[in-house]
């Protein structure tokens, strides 16, 4: 998609991961749209973080860990959300970057 202004699903692959933040309720069933596009994983936020995986039957089911970021669990994502709510943003950003380097980044290759 680099340098392009329009998405063409006949040429461009659907996203592998969608991150959805819900501030209002919509009458549109976005989950059905994501499934029709073949989006494999959805992270939803509505007070708490939830990871959903596309099943063979075209529906989404909750999962505890992200296949896209295998070391990231729902529990860890929600712990980070709680930490963000209790810290100032600059302090949380420093702590989160350190946490990613120490716990979530892939190990160095030899």
Residue pLDDT tens, the chain, 110 long: 677 788 787 888 888 899 888 777 765 688 999 999 899 999 998 889 999 999 999 999 999 999 888 888 999 999 988 998 898 889 989 998 998 888 877 777 77
Rounded alpha-carbon distances, angstroms, from residue 108 to 1, 17, 94, 101, 104: 29, 24, 21, 11, 12
Q: Is the dihedral of CA 59, 74, 21, 99 positive or negative?
A: negative
Rounded alpha-carbon distances, angstroms, from residue 109 to 105, 106: 12, 9
Start-to-end CA span in the chain (Å): 32
| Cβ atoms 54, 60 nearer than 8 A | yes
| Cβ atoms 18, 41 nearer than 8 A | yes
């Amino acid at each position: 998609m680099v340098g392009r202004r329009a998405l063409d699903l006949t040429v461009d692959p659907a996203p592998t991961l969608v991150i959805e933040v819900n501030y209002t309720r919509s009458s549109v069933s976005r989950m059905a749209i994501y499934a029709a596009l073949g989006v494999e994983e959805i992270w939803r936020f509505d007070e708490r973080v939830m990871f959903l995986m596309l099943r063979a039957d075209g529906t989404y089911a909750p999962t505890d860990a992200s296949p896209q970021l295998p070391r990231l669990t729902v529990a860890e994502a929600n712990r980070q959300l709680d930490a963000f709510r209790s810290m100032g943003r600059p302090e949380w950003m420093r702590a989160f970057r350190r946490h990613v380097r120490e716990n979530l980044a892939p190990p160095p290759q030899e």
